[in-house]
Structure 1
Amino acid sequence: MKARYKEIVDEYAAAIRLGELTAGTRLPTHRVLAATRRISLATATRVYAELEKMGLVSGEAGRGTFVREISLPAGLGMDQQVVATDVVDLNFNYPSLPHQAELLRDALRNLTTSGDLESLLRYQPHAGRQNDREAIASWLTGFGLKPAAENILIVNGAQHGLTVAAMGMLRPGDVVAVDALTYSGFKALATLYQLELAPVPVTSTGPDLNALRQLCKRRRIKAIYTMPTLHNPLGWVLDHAQRREITGIAREHDLVIIEDAAYAYLAERSPPPFALLAPERTLYVTGFAKNIAAGLRVGAVVCPPAFRPAIERAIRATVWNTPSLMTTLVAGWLQDGTIRRLESLKRKDARQRQALARERLGSLDYVSHENSYFIWLPLAEEIRAEQVVRQLLNQHISVSTAEPFSTAPNVPHAIRLALGSVSLDKLKMALDKVGEVIQYQRYI
């Protein structure tokens, strides 16, 4: 005979899946459920725990238990690389300038008439060719680094850089301190490699460093994953004092620092990176997806000499080496100044898009950096993020909730808007609709 709590779980699950209980519906409190169903309070708690495990409800401290939006794709679209052609994509960022295709055409043409093409057909060193690494080393001086080319390993984009950092330096079960809101790609990587993410509460200017200190005293933390220069999704740039304090914590507890610099090029005059403050323990991960184009898939990891063998083994195990054709193109653009020019133009483009957002979302409170390609938009107490996402998707606009970015048990109700993937005209229209939907949700 089925246990009583199982019957109630099945009843609720059926009602949610049939749409009888819609997304955002607040369920009875544990005490009310216990009283109306004539079960113990412990059994009522077990019912909601089972429903939460099934992904059908979410419990929020001090607010109650709510039905989740189950008709949305897993990850609320964050795991999907392609959206319908009639959907305005404010979910992923792949900023591109109008003339970039011609740059690629010219570079490929030049490549066919100069250099040793035959060498590009052969296996390359796992860490990348020396001249390509030297070009990257020279470019990185613009970010306050002074890396030796020998300590630069070329990878297939920043995500692959994070992957080899995790593979090389961490083991399944290791605990990594991360911001309570952090890059969704690192969350996915942690799940794949069975790493435990320990969330650090966030403030308006960065992680709560007192909470980080206490966490390191309570748990055996192995590493810190951080985006100190233009954080995704919150846009902060940690100041020098914050970086010094995190460096001190890492040294006190012997932690590896994984520094994600994917968006660092957008922030001007930022403080020194951790790779300069704590070079003996920092893996600095960067890429060329955002400042050039997502399709090139070239990145780099700057690491201490002691870490290099482990990272190089991870590269060999995953891709053997980065395609030399791509690295040759990128190195050429580094050497002739093309990438610096693209970075300057994209900072200007991002500022223009942020200005447009301020104009169209003026009545809404949101978090961003003046040069960033994204906005974090917390929602009012009474608004459910899943309902906002669904309503916008019905109007052919794709955005993300906080869920893909959240590492804490209680996911905040917020949406993230990526500004860099559509034309300014489409962005203006989409931002207007975002504002309209949120205002509508306030009054229903």
Structure 2
Amino acid sequence: MKARYKAIVDEFATAIRSGTLLPGTRLSTHRALSVEKHISLATATRVYAELEAMGLVSGESGRGTFVREISLPAGLGLDQHVVASDVLDLNFNYPSLPDQAERLRDAMRQLTTSGDLASLLRYQPHAGRQSDRDTIASWLNAAGIQPSADEVLVVNGAQHGLTVAVMGLLKPGDVVAVDALIYPGFIALARLCHLELVAIPAHANGPDLDAFRQICQRRRIRAVYTMPTLHNPLGWVLNDEQRKKLTLIARTFDLLIIEDAAYAFLVRRPPPPLAAYAPERTVYVTGFAKSIATGLRVGAVFCPANMRGALERAIRATTWNTPSLMVSIVCGWIKDGTIQRFESLKRRDARQRQALARKILSDCEWVGHSSSYFLWLPLPQEIRADQLVHRLMQQHISVSTAEPFCSTNNVPHALRLALGSVSMNQLSEALTAIKDAIEYERDL
């Protein structure tokens, strides 16, 4: 005979999947459910826990238990890059410039006249060719660090750089301190590698470093993952004092620092990276996907010499080496100034898009940097993010909730808007629809 609580779970599941219980519906409190169904409070709690494990409801501290929008993909779209051609994609950033394809044609023509073209067809050193590492090391000087070629490893984009750092330097069960809201790619990586993430509370302009110190005093933290220059998704840039304080904590508790600089190029004259403050314990990860194009999967890792062997082994185990054809194109663009020009144009483009977003959403609360390709939009307390995302998707506009960015179970109701993947006219159209949808939900 089916257990009583199982029958109640099935009853709720059927009602949710059939649409009888609509997304966003607030369910009875645990105590009220126990009275309605003539079950104990513990059994009522068990019913909601099982529904939450099934992905059908979400319990929110201080607010109650709500029916989830189950027609949306896992991660509310952030794990699904491909969108329909008629959807305005404000989920992902893949900013491009009008002449990038033509520059790629020029670069490939130049490669065909190279005297050593055949070498690109062979295996390369795991960390990249010496000449390429020399070129990338010189490019990193502009970021505020001065590595030698022996401290640089060429990787398949920044995400691969993070993977190499985690696989090479951490082990399952290690505890890593992260911001309460962070880049979803690191959350996915931590799950894959069985790391425990501990969230650092946030202030308006950066992590609460006093709380971070207290966490380190209570727990055996092995590493800290951070984006000090143009944080994704909140856009903060840590100042010199914050960077010194963070690296001092890392030295005091002997932490590895994994510094993600994927969007740092968008900030003009930021403070030096953490790798300049604590080079002996920092792995600095960057890439060219945002500054050039997402299809060119080339990145770089700067690390202390004593970590290089472990990182090279991780590269060997994952990709053997970065495809030398793409690396040659990127290094050629470093030498002839193309990347510097791309970065300058994208900084201007990001500022224009950010200004447009702030103008259209002037009546909303928002968090972001003036040169960022993304904007964080906290929602009024009465508006549920999943309902808003569903409404926008019906209008062929794709955005993300806070859920994929959360390193804790406490998910705020907010939207993260990627501003760099559609034309300016389409962006204006999408932002206006978002503003109208928020106002509509607020009026309801």
Common topology (TM > 0.5) = yes
1:229 counterpart residue number: 229
What stretches of structure 1 of length at least 5 have no aligned partner? Answer: none
Residue of structure 2 equivalent to 1:120: 120
**Matched residue, 1:70:** 70
Q: How does 1:28-427 map to 2 (within 5 A)?
A: 28-427=28-427
Deviates more, 1:176-185 or 1:216-225: 216-225
**CA shift for structure 1 position 3:** 2.0
> What's 1:441 paired with?
441
Deviations 1:184-220 (A, max 9, x none): 1111111111111111111211111122112112222
3-state SS of paired residue (2:177): strand
- Quote the RMSD (CA, aligned, Å): 0.9
Contact (CA 8 Å) 1:163, 1:189: kept in 2 or not?
yes
Q: Structure 1 stretch 184-193 or stretch 256-265: which is displaced more?
A: 184-193
CA–CA distance in 1 between the matches of 2:337 and 2:328? 14
Could you tell me how far 1:179 is from its partner in structure 2? 0.6
User: How far does residue 23 in structure 1 lie from its aligned partner after superposition?
Assistant: 1.1
Identity of aligned residues (%): 70
SS of residue paired to 1:294: coil
Distance in 1 separating the partners of 2:438 and 2:360: 13
The amino acid across from 1:215 in the alignment is: I
Cα distance in structure 2, aligned partners of 1:28 and 1:152: 57
CA distance in 2, matches of 1:23, 1:251: 48
Query: How far off is 1:115 after superposition?
Result: 3.4
Deviations 1:23-59 (A, max 9, x none): 1111111111112222222221121111111111111
In structure 1, distance between residues paired with 2:155 and 2:7: 52
Tell me the distance in 2 between the aligned counterparts of 1:256 and 1:220. 12
Cα distance in 1, alignment partners of residues 341 and 286 from structure 2: 18
1-side partners of 2:294 and 2:345: how far apart?
Answer: 17
State the distance in 1 between where 2:140 and 2:295 align: 21
Tell me the distance in 2 between the aligned counterparts of 1:362 and 1:201. 27
Q: Distance in 2 between matches of 1:38 and 1:124?
A: 69
Please report the TM-score for the alignment, with normalisation by the length of structure 1: 0.99
Q: Is the 8 A contact 1:89 1:399 kept in 2?
A: yes
Residues 231-282 of structure 1: CA deviation (Å, up to 9, x unaligned): 0000000111111111111111111110000000001111111111111111
Inter-partner Cα distance in structure 2 for 1:302 and 1:26: 49
SS at 1:295 equivalent: coil
Q: What SS does the corresponding residue of 2:59 show, helix, strand or coil? A: strand
> Residue 384 of structure 2 aligns to which amino acid in structure 1?
R
Q: Distance in 2 between matches of 1:82 and 1:262?
A: 22
Cα distance in 2 for residues equivalent to 1:299 and 1:348: 23
Q: Is the 8 A contact 1:365 1:377 kept in 2?
A: yes
Q: Distance in 2 between matches of 1:2 and 1:217?
A: 48
Task: Name structure 2 gaps, 5 residues minimum.
Answer: none
CA distance in 2, matches of 1:49, 1:180: 23
Name whichever of 409-418 and 74-83 sits farther off.
74-83
CA distance in 2, matches of 1:240, 1:68: 42
Q: What per-residue deviation string (whole Å, max 9, x for no partner) do you get for residues 293-317 of structure 1?
A: 0001000110111110000000001
In structure 1, what is the Cα distance between the partners aligned to 2:80 and 2:65? 28
Which one is further off, 254-263 or 15-24? Answer: 15-24
Provide, for residues 383-414 of structure 1, a one-character-per-residue CA deviation record: whole Å limited to 9, x for no partner: 01011111111111110010110111111100
What secondary structure, in the 3-state scheme, does the structure 2 residue paired with 1:188 have? helix
Secondary structure of 2:222's partner? strand
Structure 2 CA distance, aligned partners of 1:79 and 1:61?
26
Provide the rounded CA distance (Å) in 1 between the counterparts of 2:207 and 2:60.
22
- Equivalent residue letter for 1:438: I
Hey, what's the Cα distance between the residues in 2 that align with 1:81 and 1:53?
25
Equivalent residue of 1:306, what SS? helix
CA offset at residue 114 of structure 1?
2.4
Find the residue that maps to 1:307 and give its secondary structure: helix
Deviation at 1:429, TM superposition (A): 0.5
State which drifts further: 186-195 or 319-328: 186-195
CA contact (8 A) 1:59 1:410 kept: no
Offset, 1:366: 0.5
Counterpart amino acid of 1:368?
A: G
Asked if structure 2 preserves the Cα contact closer than 8 Å seen for 1:226 and 1:260, the reply is yes
Q: Which amino acid aligns with 1:415?
A: L
The CA deviation string for residues 306-330 of structure 1, in whole angstroms up to 9 with x for no partner, is 1100000000011000000000000
Amino acid of the residue matched to residue 439 of structure 2? Q
Which residue type is aligned with residue 135 of structure 2?
A: A
- The amino acid across from 1:13 in the alignment is A
